Amino acid sequence: MSAYSNKLLELLSIERKWNQNYLRIKISLNDSIELLWEIDEETASHLENAISFEKNYQYSLSFNSTWDVIKKQHMSFFIKTHEGKNKNCYFICSEQYAEQLKMMKNSKVITQLQNLSFLHADHLDRETAVTVTPKRSFRKPIFVSAAAFFILLMIVLAYSSFSFSKNKSIAQETYVTAQSAKTERKPNVQVKSNIGDAPAFKLADPITYHIQEDSVALTFDDGPSKYSTEIIDILKKYKVGGTFFLIGQNVEKYPDHVQYIYSHGFSIGNHSMHHANFQKLSYEKQKNEIFEANKLIEDITGEPVSLFRPPYGEKNDATLQLLDENNQQIVMWNKDTEDWKTHSPEKIIYYIQHSNISGSIILLHESKAVVDALPTIIEELQKQNLRIVNLK
């Protein structure tokens, strides 16, 4: 789980009993408890294809899910941990699974979890419950006849051959479709798509105000908002890059728009939790502003946030220390369209047309004026043969 969460939802196994699917989980809250989570066939199928219980690995389920507005399906992820290294793995889930996650997330104490109808005490017999993950194991009784043991061995060998063949075909696949039949199980979905020819510019300095000549970066602050998808669609149409600096409280309002930005390959940075002036905040309050927003974004994208833009461009030594300790870089700007002041597409365009724009990081905000001005801005930059890049 994320380092920012005080809950842990550990996945121990996937099991089937009486034609019903269960996740054997260990939940750590104010205490720890092992339970069986009764889940639907669809989610069990996608989890089975996405996970293989390897020795010395820990698997933790995220308490969050998102709605992929492009593929029209719910998504969640688990974290695979080995020797201190984490890897986020995504899978398609059902609406029922997403609702159950939400109920567990909102539970404050163990007793609340035990009252949820889909969670059960460990009533399954571990000696007979079938584990349905790719790597399967069956325990034999201490006292069995030689004939019974031989028959069981033949069954296991035949099943293992089938399982190996299935795993081989899974490894050759890349995508999972939302409409995959329950009997045809495919691997984990790829949630991030390519945006065509848009190049990326890798930042190297702790603080960046501009980039190399012949390139330009369009950056959008204060989202996500009701304008996010329109901005993304325009950038996609022109096959150019864009970088979005998101405010945590807006992420809570528009989580689907965060997923929309991310799934189309655009860069996402942190713009604090509440858009506070960092010059006026203590070290601890700055830390909370940064980490709370990071967590919200990371729970949706499954990737660490590496870019930060301080609200109003205000920062101090505490800001620099916090970001250095957490391997994040500050992204400033050297061209301010002042779109927030004029609210005029014409004035925004005029500013771009009459500026020495090569090598610039351009400050824009998610607004109707920017949506209206953006196609002309892009066309003007392309006339100057400038690469419009994602910041990384």
Point out the residues that are catalytic.
221, 365
* Sign of torsion over alpha carbons 113, 117, 121, 126: negative
With contact defined as beta carbons under 8 Å apart, do 214 and 387 qualify? yes
- Tokens 């790597």 belong to 135
Q: Which long-range contacts (CB under 8 A, 24 or more apart) does 78-86 make?
A: 78/11, 78/47, 78/50, 78/51, 79/1, 79/2, 80/51, 81/57, 82/54, 82/56, 82/57, 82/58, 83/56
SS3 269: strand
Please choose, from the candidates 47, 63, 57, the residue with its C-alpha nearest in 3D space to the C-alpha of residue 1. 63
Q: Nearest CA to 5 among 52, 61, 56? A: 61
Nearest 10 degrees: Cα torsion 199, 205, 210, 212: -50
CA distance 171 to 345: 49
The rounded distance, in Å, linking the Cα atoms of 386 and 392 is 18
The C-alpha atoms of residue 79 and residue 89 are separated, in whole angstroms, by 6
How far is 199 from 338, CA to CA, in rounded Å?
Answer: 26
How many C-beta atoms surround the C-beta of residue 67 within 10 A?
A: 15
Strand partners for 331: 208
Beta bridge partners of 160: none
**Residue partners of 380: CB distance under 8 A and separation at least 6:** 349, 352, 353
3-state secondary structure of 153: helix
Query: What residue type is assigned to position 30 of the chain?
Result: N
